[in-house]
Chains A and B, each alone.
Chain A
Amino acid sequence: MKKIIVFAVMVSALFLFTACSKGSGEKVYVYNWGEYIDPEVFELFEEETGIEVVDDYFESNEEMYPKIKAGAVQYDVVCPSDYMIQKMIDEDLLAEINFDNVPNLKNIDTSYLKSSETFDPGNKFSVPYCWGTLGILYNKTMVDEPIDSWSAIFDEKYSGNILMIDSVRDAFGITLSYLGYDMNTTNETELDEAKALLQEQYPLVQAYVVDQVRDKMIGEEAALGVIYSGEAIYTKRENENLEYVVPKEGSNVWIDAWVIPKNCRNKENAEAFINFICDGEIALKNFEYITYSTPNSIARDMIEDEDIKNSQVAFPPQEVLDRCTTFRYLGEDFEAMYNNKWNEVKTE
């Protein structure tokens, strides 16, 4: 008996010691979407710079924002979407990036920098990471007509076979564009109409998901799922019955970009990280892992698989982009209005 306790004391002490002694070096705290970067990229970064990466994940912009704002955890690099970056700039939460430390910015296609100006005028605070559209992923064997409209996800025929996106702006955005309204509307009557439609949709929905849509569509749990275009290549690789479409009514085009919060721990490390990500070969490696469209022109040129390089899903043609809109930050009051209406939808 005594031996056991002596052993337990020794083991605990040893563990405590190793736990405390580790981690004195340089670190960079990265706050990113789940499964949105190749873990090997972190390893390569650590090898090259000696800076250790501490990674943490969020599932929605709305979940990320309060953490940065509260500052209980200080992150160095964060990857929000367009409208959220606009909000964070408005609220003075972001630091201006010193682009002398990010020479690889030249690899980013200028057209993306230009579209970034809609939420980050002058490109002072952000560096584009990935972009894409929002659309419907459907299983060819489970639908009996070609899907080209948002009407499918409101169709009773597919009751129990629909995976709806569990993200307030996305859910309202697609409903509004189906109804022919602006995705950034601040008109309450239009919003109420969208809410009513979403409430009608509730009984038809199998589950409200964001990241889980991937696994469920691969497993053929549902016929239709609302999904980001970046998941389309991956899911098709795993199950070739799946097809991605941007509905004809129009949809959302988004850009996720790296930003540095004002309360970061180490700005230079953050910039070194952003610079590393913008390296052509790293961006290519990363693209092959996450399959989200890259704004990095060097990386895109280096893609070997011709099908992917010319993929209409990963790099949609202009005519598709023409019918897509970017979300804008609508201010605190409208944000609250959207949130309340979304909660009402989900508690039928």
Chain B
Amino acid sequence: MVKKFVERSYIALILIFLYAPIGILIVLSFNASKSRAKWGGFTFHWYQELFHNEAIMSALTTTLIIALSSAFIATVLGTAAAIAMNGMNKTPRTILMSITNIPMLNADIVTGISLMLVFVALKFTLGFTSVLLSHITFNIPYVILSVMPKLRQLNPHTFEAAQDLGASPLYAFFKVILPDIFPGVLSGFFLAFTMSLDDFVITHFTKGPEINTLSTKIYTEVRKGIKPEIYALSTIMFITVLLLLVLINRRGTEKKVPLRKV
């Protein structure tokens, strides 16, 4: 009994540690004072302001566009690559997997800098496209690593059978392979989306003046004091995701997150 109590308290303490800063940010979004360091009373003011703040709204749009499209393109490229790699011999596959591992093992700062060097060397103007390309690059490995295990579980004979029965390879792919690996594809997409959303360092080095994602916008504001609208926006985003997760969990759909594999 005592042991159970100790265990429960330990979990509780860690959760407090993880969520206390988030609680503070939520509290700050209701702070009437503009300064982070002072409590000036309760207000909904920043939530109203938020929708009139063009800079923040455009940073939000950019962030979402980049996260969605980079996750999507990475999912297509990554899934295709995973299928092909699955059919390869050991040596080429090991080499490809090792290259895939590079952006994961390398420091973000090195990845960001090296990508910037390429864009500058190619006289490519830093901006929306360079950020998008960089995000796709660091997202593809997540997709491959999510799809690969599903492919390994696949029964190869069904694909063969479909083709024997006259299906074109493409048709067979969509009818036979894709439905089986779809959970992996989907979780790869979500993982890539989350990573893109939370990235700061790589965006910082590959962006140009035209665009800001939420991360880089926040970074410029860190210095002169964060605008409370940012807290309001983050609170809305956080609560939305929280509610979504609770909802999904209620429905009991066991969402396969690629973090745990067979």
Contacts and interface: CB of A to CB of B under 8 A. Distances in A.
B149 interface: no
Contact of A73 (B34, B38, B208, B222): B208
B35 A19 contact: no
Contacts of A203: none
B65 interface: yes
Contact of A34 (B38, B62, B223): B223
B182 interface: yes
A248 to B, nearest CB: 29
Given A211-B224, A215-B36, A218-B35, A12 B55 contact: no
A75 interface: yes
A54 B208 CA distance: 10
A34 B68 contact: no
B209 A35 contact: no
Nearest to A9: B72
B50 interface: no
B72 A215 contact: no
B176 to A, nearest CB: 14
Given A4-B186, A8-B68, A15-B69, A221 B209 contact: no
Nearest to A235: B35
A219 B209 contact: no
Interface residues of A, number: 37
A15 B196 CA distance: 16
A56 B219 CA distance: 12
Contact of B223 (A55, A56, A59): A59
B22 interface: no
Contacts of B220: 34, 57
Contacts of B208: 73
Interface string B192-211: 00000000000000001110
Interface in A140-174: none
Contacts of A16: 65, 69
Consensus secondary structure, chain B interface: helix
A59 B220 CA distance: 9
A35 B55 CA distance: 13
A19 B62 CA distance: 8
B223 A238 contact: no
B209 A212 contact: no
A7 B37 CA distance: 43
A323 interface: no
A138 B43 CA distance: 30
B64 interface: yes
A219 B35 contact: yes
Top 6 nearest A-B pairs (CB, nearest first) are A219-B37, A56-B209, A211-B223, A215-B225, A15-B65, A35-B224
12 contacts: A8-B189, A12-B73, A29-B209, A34-B220, A39-B55, A57-B220, A211-B223, A214-B224, A215-B37, A215-B224, A219-B35, A220-B37
Interface of B: 34-38, 55, 62, 64-65, 68-69, 72-73, 120, 125-126, 128, 179, 182, 186, 189, 208-210, 220, 222-225
